[in-house]
A and B are shown apart, each in its own frame.
Chain A
Amino acid sequence: MMIRWRFKKIVCFFLFIGLNACVDPISLSVGGNANLLVVDGLITDELGPYVIKLSRTIPFDNNQPLRVYSIPEKGALVTLTDNEGHSQQLTEVESGSYLTHSITGKVGNTYTISIQTKDGKKYHSAPEKMNAVASVAELQYEFKTSDVLFVNSNGSPRVQKLEEFYIYAVVNDPLELGNSYRWQSSGIFEFFSLTDIPEIKQCWAPTLSRLERNLSIYSDRESKSSQIRQLVGVVNYDRPTYYQVKVKQQSITEGAYEFFKRMRQQQTTTGSIFDAAPTPIVGNIVSENDEDEVVLGYFGASAVTEATLLINRFAGANYLPPTRNIAIQSGDCRNHEPDATNVKPVGFN
């Protein structure tokens, strides 16, 4: 699949033969059958509560790019049941977010949600089985540098060096087929202030965006290899400090894998003529009243295992400082980054 993707890129290079930007953002608004119900929820074996989000689609409109892309679906009755006969109604805590209470997911159980919206329409998910998850054998990193060429506003090209740590999860996949995985990564970085006061000189703050560049998923049907080495995130080398990566590995079902794979396909399109036509992303929610009604999203169940990796970025980068270093500021380091703390998080030394 990687091969195919590279091929798409090569086409873009012919586009460049025209010595002109080939891709321009355009304004486009497409009316359509908006207001479709979207379900986004996951039950895990971590401690609850778990959240099920209900929303409605809005028409695609690039003329208002900053528009909120989701309209919460309020006032619905959401019921979670499992194969052991337990059933509970979820509570809406904020607009469109419905929370479970006093329940912890169990590996081997099968979960279903049913929804009744305010207008009386009924929906339900397919039963979703919580599979056991293999543990992460190891997290690894590789320091990679690459050059990217930018064109300045005056038209002159400028080379910029990218310095990044690629994070890989190594997993020993169980022998039997049918295991699918999803990884979600986050990180905490260490940073310093110019102050002399020790208490506020060293701080830690979370990276606000997810570390994975795209959906990081894998199915053991893709490869016969028993060992998986999956790219689960990319960390910038912008400070010569420690960085802690936290990776959550989920055991998603094959249905969920197909769903996320379609989503990933859409996210990685290059729009070249060698792309397949975009397709609907079919989830596991159906309407009980009208079988032709399109319902979007996925209700999933997954066991979760967690792993962390502490990276000495300076050592990883062969003791060379970052080319694009974020300047060290003075004063209380807790004020330099959002959610910064001077309490050393678990895992840092």
Chain B
Amino acid sequence: MISERFFLLLTIILGLACKSYSQSHSSELPLENALKKIEQKLKVKFFFRPEWIQDVSVSEQLVNLPITAIFSELDKKGLAHLLIDNSPYIILFRGAAPFVSNPFLPDSISVRKALSEVYSMRGKVYEANSNQPLLGATIVVDGENKGVVTDHEGKYSFSLPEGIYRLRITAVGKLPTIRSVTLDSDSEIDFEMYEHATQLDGVTITSESLTRNISSAEMSQIKMDIKTLKSIPPFMGEVDLVKGILLLPGVSTVGEGASGFNVRGGNVDQNLILLDDAPLLNSSHLFGFFSTFNSDFVKDLTLYKGGMPAAYGGRVSSVLDVRLKDGNDKKISISGGLGIISSRLMIEGPIGSSGKTTFVLGGRYAYPNWIIKKVPDLNVQRSSGDFYDFNLRGKHKFNDKNSLAFSGYHSTDNFKFAADTTYAWSTSSASLRWNTIINSNLFANMTGFFSRYRNKVDGLMAGMEFTTDFGVDIAGGKIDLTYTPDLKHKIDFGYSMNQYMINPGKLASYAPQQIDPVNIEDELSHEQGFYLSDDFKFNETISMQGGLRYSLYASKGPADILIYQDGVPKRLSTVMDTLFVSPGDNVARYSGLEPRVSMKISIGKNSSIKLSYNRNYQYLHLISNTAAVSPLDLWKSSNRYVKPQIGDQIAAGYFRNFKDNNYELSLEAYYKQTENLLEYKDGAELFMNTHLETQLLSAKGKAYGMELMIKKNNGKWTGWISYAYARSFRRVKGNSREETLNSGSYFPSNFDKPNDLTIVQSIAFTKRLSLSANFTYSTGRPITYPQSVYVIDNYSVAQFSDRNQGRIPDYHRLDLSFTINESLRATKKWKGSWTFSVYNLYGRKNPYSVFFKPQMRGSQTQAYRLAVIGTVFPSITYNFKL
């Protein structure tokens, strides 16, 4: 340890007799300048805190005095001095020298040199046991009030004047570490952090630094690590990432079994989901009951509900950035889990002995058939299904400055319904990322990625055979650079390019007498983005993150565009002409500037106020007119008729930490407005529609809300309570009745659930036993109720009028889970744990929808309630590691 090298000597060793000298009044100069001259002359180095010698000036003559005389002159100015053993270092103090009581002085302060060079310091922070890079560790320089946070590679960098610095490194769930470093040249220093001694102690809620929530300019974002996810009671034994973020304020869903999630009143397609930089278009297995992320692989995730950094673009509501593990570089390790409907296996370790190359490989398989066979419905019993996914991640470190990481993913769901229809959908992604350090102030990341989403329906009924398929391919690349010219700025800039290739639907019929083949022409488009942003710290109180993104989009031919008559609703009957766009020509072009600004103002040591504004463009849209999106919904890129969505959000928040950062409080309010949302005409038909624009309407979205969250981060008892009041509205006001909904006034969106309360609590009784519970309550979602009923030709018909004017009953649910670790002894090779969980503990039949259906061959209308999980659902999982 560097600090141990330092010894203190109470020095009068250079004990030449003090000799008075005559003071010249002729000229004085600032002490800092004088010290610089003395350093050059006597080949020593002075360290101090700038504020100690501020406003001190000394006679020019001082420079020419012997060192002892200099010391006594400084003494008169109230500056004590301290020599460091075996070094030319001299530390100056203001007032009484503290060294008497603290012989290891450099451990307790940071001091810098006079008018010195600025050197860069960079390196990595590792988790000591697994040797995994640690994201979100904060390195704070004592006395300088500077801090940086490690990125997802565990890297940090900053620049400081030459000096001796005390660094305080913190990360959630890790023991705080304090290190002293002497910075006298550009340096690279790595740090290791150790787990808290009590392993079960920490249900970590975030991997942010303990004070990051109050000290950074970023807001509306939440980081969650895998430990937190694992503490949430699992459904059917599967730890689920999307289920985890649904417990955060501002994130909601239409209901159980709905794919995706809604952030601050936004649509499901407005979330940019990144898996190691590759965008994923589907996040659901099993029609939304599970998410596509295998939680064993997840290192951490960050959800931006607003205030997105300029580096992200392409979606209006949120960014979910999921990072996977790098793999253990010390030894091969195997882990896995066995559950009632799914199991997992993962292997990770180094390749070769150098530890420069690591890999993680694993997968999941689900086998719900044995439950399906128990369902008292023959159609269901004749059904079958499964899903699987696998991940491969590898990393190679060429040298200290260059590393390459690969991440690959594939998932497939297959379902056969009642022996006559099969449904399959799959998601694949791959990314390759090269990190390089160009110089001490400049980092670069270059990433190439590919992502594919496919779905397929096959009809197997004799004489009615058909097959449909749909898909989206995204290929792209980006370059991101970070430049840190000095302590006050961190400048990020870069460029990204995405190409979208969409197959909007093909239907091949093996029974052309019954079903017509359909082939909708493919859509090709490009999206590019340029961005520049600066993290700028004005002073201790105010810091700002200002960024600008410019996005450009072009949809390319070949395409046949139907031109409709002006001023009347688009219908096949109002088609005037067809425009043929040749290959490579533009079908439509859009571009826009996207400002992203956020600002922090500290109030005292423990709290701050933050403000943010951001604008986002979105060129890719999900086409779905059902209450909940499904994996079989289609994506569409912007064209002549589908304009890009433009979202603006302003947010303000108050953040405060209590009791040594053990408790965090955040209160945020936001207002959001979105242009060019897609809505659908009454009775719209979207499936295999070659002229989709005739079914679409353009809507304006409005959402506002308030989110309150109190978290306890440390101790045996951890968890959070959050409450959100959130509203979300749509307005469709067209030129005709057909193009207008609800008379052109705002109506609640499908996921407008004003009150949302979540309590997540976890208690570690002992190191081996822990109990977790979560409770959620939310207002029932809006639905359209019939106003009245009438009879047409002996059919009873319900009369529905305005959309979403009713609500289903409120939703609430309590889940519990109990985890027992078999052994915690480090020497034991096999480590197992049992998790018992109960979903929906009090068995509430939470209505998913209320609907109206005729009985008696249509002569009567009855209201029904549909509950997806209308019972208590227990499960058990065994997890192991060796």
Chain A interface (Cβ < 8 Å from any Cβ of B): 1, 3-4, 6-7, 9-11, 13-28, 30, 32-36, 38, 40, 55-60, 62, 65, 69-70, 147-149, 151, 157, 159, 209-210, 213-215, 221, 223-225, 227, 229, 258, 261-263, 265-267, 269-282, 294, 296-298
Could you say which of A221, A267, A276 contacts B684, with CB atoms under 8 Å apart? A276
Does A279 lie within 8 Å of B683, measured CB to CB?
Answer: yes
Segment from B531-539, B637-645, B800-808, B819-827 that makes contact with A: B800-808
Q: Which residues on the B side are within 8 Å of A58 (C-beta)?
A: 788-790
Shortest 5 CB-CB contacts between residues of A and residues of B: A271-B851, A32-B787, A279-B682, A57-B788, A273-B628
A6 and B421 contacting across the interface, CB-CB below 8 Å:
yes
8 A Cβ contacts from B840-882 to A:
845, 848-854, 857-858, 860-871, 873
B850 touches A26 (CB 8 A): yes
Task: Provide the residues of chain A in CB contact with B863, threshold 8 Å.
Answer: 25-28, 60, 62
- In the assembled complex, which residues on chain A have CB atoms less than 8 Å from the CB atom of B867? 15, 18, 20, 22, 24
CA distance A223 to B516 in the complex (A): 6
**Cβ distance B790 to chain A, nearest Cβ, rounded Å:** 4
Collect the chain A residues with CB atoms within 8 Å of residue B873's CB. 18
- In the bound complex, how far is the Cα of B375 from the Cα of A12, in angstroms? 11
Give 1 or 0 for each of B360-384: 1 = CB within 8 Å of chain A CB: 0000000010011011111111010
Residues of the A chain whose Cβ atoms lie less than 8 Å from the Cβ of B784: 277-279
For A294, the chain B residues whose CB sits under 8 A away are 799, 801
Type the 1/0 row for B691-732, where 1 means its CB is closer than 8 Å to any CB of A: 000000000000000000000000000000000000000000
Question: Does A16 lie within 8 Å of B380, measured CB to CB?
Answer: yes
Is the Cβ of A210 less than 8 Å from the Cβ of B789?
no
Identify which of B257, B468, B516 gathers the most chain A CB atoms within 10 Å of its CB: B257
B55 interface residue (CB < 8 Å to A): no
User: What 0/1 readout, one digit per residue, does chain B (433-477) give for beta carbons within 8 Å of chain A?
Assistant: 000000000000000000000000101000000101000000000
Chain B contact residues, CB within 8 Å of chain A: 254-255, 257-258, 286-287, 289, 368, 371-372, 374-381, 383, 415, 417-418, 421, 423, 457, 459, 466, 468, 512-516, 572, 625-628, 630, 632, 680, 682-685, 687, 750, 783-801, 803-804, 806, 845, 848-854, 857-858, 860-871, 873
- A258 CA to B685 CA in the complex, in Å? 12
Residues of A within 8 A of B375 (CB): 13, 16-17, 19
Question: Which of A59, A159, A209 is within 8 Å of B788, CB to CB?
Answer: A59
The answer for the CA separation of A28 and B625 in the assembled complex, in Å, is 25
The 7 listed contacts between A and B (C-beta, < 8 Å) are A15-B868, A25-B865, A30-B786, A58-B788, A59-B789, A60-B788, A69-B791
- A6 CB → nearest B CB, Å: 5
Q: CB distance B864 to A70 under 8 Å?
A: no
Which residues of A lie under 8 Å from residue B468 when comparing CB positions?
3
**Which one, B785, B786, B862, contacts A25 given CB within 8 A?**
B862
Chain B nearest CB, measured from A39 CB (Å): 9
Contacts of A21 in B (CB 8 A): 870
Report the Cα distance A214→B92, complex, angstroms.
Answer: 93
A57 with B857: CB separation less than 8 A: no
Contact call A265/B790, Cβ cutoff below 8 A = no
Instruction: Specify which of A22, A70, A267, A276 is in contact with B680 (CB 8 Å cutoff).
Output: A276
Which A residues are in CB contact (< 8 Å) with B372? 13, 16-17
Q: Are B687 and A273 touching (Cβ within 8 A)?
A: no
Q: For the complex, what is the distance from the CA of A11 to the CA of B423, rounded to whole Å?
A: 12
| A279 with B379: CB separation less than 8 A | no
Which of A34, A38, A277 is the most central at the interface, judged by chain B CB atoms within 10 Å of its CB?
A: A277
Measured between alpha carbons, how far is A27 from B864 in the docked complex, in Å? 8
The reply to whether B257 and A273 contact each other, CB–CB distance below 8 Å, is: yes
CB-contact partner of B785 in A9, A30, A229, under 8 A: A30
Chain B residues within an 8 Å CB radius of A266: 797-798, 852, 854
Assembly CA distance A80 to B794 (angstroms):
23
CB <8 Å contact, A267 and B864: no
With contact pairs A10-B423, A13-B379 given, residues A272 and B788 touching in the complex (Cβ less than 8 Å): no
**Contacting pair A40 B862 (CB below 8 A):** no
B792 and A261 within 8 A (CB): no
Q: In the bound complex, how far is the Cα of B422 from the Cα of A6, in angstroms?
A: 10
State A127–B783 Cα separation when bound (angstroms): 35
CB distance from A267 to the nearest CB of B (A): 5
Q: Which of B626, B792, B857 contacts A209 (CB 8 A)?
A: B857
Cβ contacts under 8 Å, B459 to chain A: 3
B761 to A: closest C-beta gap in Å? 26
A307 to B625, CA, bound (A): 39
Given the known interface contacts A25-B863, A38-B792, the answer about A277 and B803 at a Cβ–Cβ threshold of 8 Å is: yes
Contacts of A27 in B (CB 8 A): 863
Q: Closest CB of chain B to A62's CB: distance in Å? A: 5
Contacts A14-B257, A17-B371, A62-B863 given; does A274 touch B801 at CB 8 Å: no
Pick the residue among A59, A157, A277 that contacts B804 (CB under 8 A).
A277
Expressed in whole angstroms, the Cα–Cα distance for A298 and B790 within the complex equals: 12
Given A19-B374, A36-B790, is A271 in contact with B862 using a C-beta cutoff of 8 Å?
Answer: no
Chain B residues, CB < 8 A from A59: 787-789
Q: Roughly how many angstroms separate A17 CA and B374 CA in the complex, as a whole number?
A: 8
In the assembled complex, which residues on chain B have CB atoms less than 8 Å from the CB atom of A10?
287, 383, 415, 417, 421, 423
- Report the minimum CB–CB distance from A247 to chain B (whole Å): 16
Partner of A24, one of B858, B865, B871: B865
Residues on A with C-beta less than 8 A from B865 are 23-26
Instruction: Please determine whether A34 and B683 come into contact, CB atoms closer than 8 angstroms.
Output: no
Contacts of B785 on A, CB cut-off 8 Å? 30, 32, 60
Q: Which residue of A lies closest to B380 (CB)?
A: A13
> Which residue of chain A has its CB nearest to the CB of B848?
A273
Q: Which residues of A contact B794 (CB under 8 A)?
A: 210
**B858–A267 touching, CB < 8 Å:** yes
Closest CB in chain A relative to B815 CB, distance in Å: 14
